[in-house]
Amino acid sequence: MHNLATECEELIKDKFKEYDEICLINSEKVLNAFRKNAVSFIHFNSTNGYGYDDLGRDTIEKVYADIFKSEDALVRNQFISGSHALTVALFACLRPNDLMLSISGLPYDTLHEVIGIKNNPSSLESFGVKYDQIDLVNDDFDYAKIENYLNNNKVKLIEIQRSKGYSTRKSITIDKVEKVIALIKKVSPDTIVMVDNCYCEFVTTKEPTEVGADIVVGSLIKNLGGGIAQNGAYIVGRHDLVELCGERLTLPGEGKEVGPSLNSNREVLMGLFHAPEVVKNSLKVATLASAMLEKLNYNVEPKWNDERADIVQNIIFNDENLLIKYCQGIQAYSPIDSQAMAYPSDMPGYDDKVIMAAGAFTQGSSIELSCDGPLRPPYIAYQQGGLTYEYGKIAVINAIKNLENYGE
């Protein structure tokens, strides 16, 4: 299997060079934001209690705003997850009788009860917010249908989920996001465009706020935390919308002025500093896995030479046992809980049993190498992350060995 890995590394060396170039551009972007905002040792200091006058927290938000070329940012450890930050943004921007439209099909499973797709008395639907969706066509936006819908309906907010989630579609590239936002703003300039950017940050050299998105949301235990931030999420975008999000997260009248950093500032800053390199490593691990598995006649998406929109690698097994075996192989070659055996189980927010392999230093951190998938056809493993290429390579090689040993 090591010989196959070496053969594939020669095949994919030009992709690796491309990732190196993207990493350099994004590293310069991060470093310039640190320099512009004069990040200093004093910003590692923390607050507790109400969190008044937290210099580090406020500076972190200025750094994020500069990186995303946005008017404002909300970066907080009070966010439990990316899904929590998305929920805050939706409840902040929408009011009773408003219409929310998803144009990337069905949102991720954990948002179903938030929106009201699945009944919940605390959902947006229970507050009178209406929801509709337009599915992708051939892994692209249905531009004609979107234009027609906007001409005939008053849509308050459009949601775009870039990463595929647990669907079988492809993730959405930044070029497609730019094209569809241009259409939306031409037809309905007052409609808020919100982008779920989870897993996509620093994969290319542009972020959605740079191509017209009004508000962008992501997690700190994915790309931008660099494997160092222990929790949290971010919201960036228009100042007025970020202010609304701050008041939804805390309380009206106080908003972004409160919220203690609780000794997290140094980790958030260091994680962001490392993030371009860690995302590059994750892309390399995903590309190696794609090339190796395709050579072994497994169905993968994206292919090793495809343009990537996020750090997620799909392996479509069409076999429940192969999905389980691959995830167990990743778990066995994780730094934490390598002795644990991953099995499918019920998970909050999911209708199907899910198998999750994640021997991570931070619980649920999917920028660290992890692999998971719902137990439903076509039995797809969703692999993501890799703090270093070398550790990721070792895990992938041995996960594939676990597949090859199955049935012997």
The domain spanning residue 363 has which CATH number? 3.90.1150.60
Tokens of 137: 């066509």
Alpha helices in 101-142 (DSSP H): 112-115
Q: What is the pLDDT of residues 113-156, one digit of tens each?
A: 999 999 999 999 999 999 999 999 999 999 999 999 999 999 99
Q: Quick one: 283 and 229 in the same domain?
A: no
Q: Quick one: 220 and 285 in the same domain?
A: no
Q: Quick one: 16 and 56 in the same domain?
A: no
Adjacent-strand bridge partners of 193: 158
Give the Cα separation of 170 and 177 in Å (integer).
13
pTM (2 decimals)? 0.96
Read off the pLDDT of each residue in 222-240 and give the average, rounded to a whole number. Answer: 98
Q: Is residue 29 part of a domain?
A: no
Q: Check pLDDT > 90 for residue 38.
A: yes
Q: What is the pLDDT of residues 325-379, one digit of tens each?
A: 999 999 999 999 999 999 999 887 777 899 999 999 999 899 999 999 999 999 9
Q: Which domain holds residue 208?
A: 48-260
* pLDDT above 70 coverage of the chain, percent: 99
Adjacent-strand bridge partners of 216: 195, 236
Q: Quick one: 329 and 243 in the same domain?
A: no
* pLDDT at residue number 404: 86
Q: Quick one: 75 and 107 in the same domain?
A: yes
* pLDDT at residue number 167: 87
CB 71 within 8 A of CB 236: no
CB 98 within 8 A of CB 115: no
243 phi, psi to nearest 5 deg: -60, -45
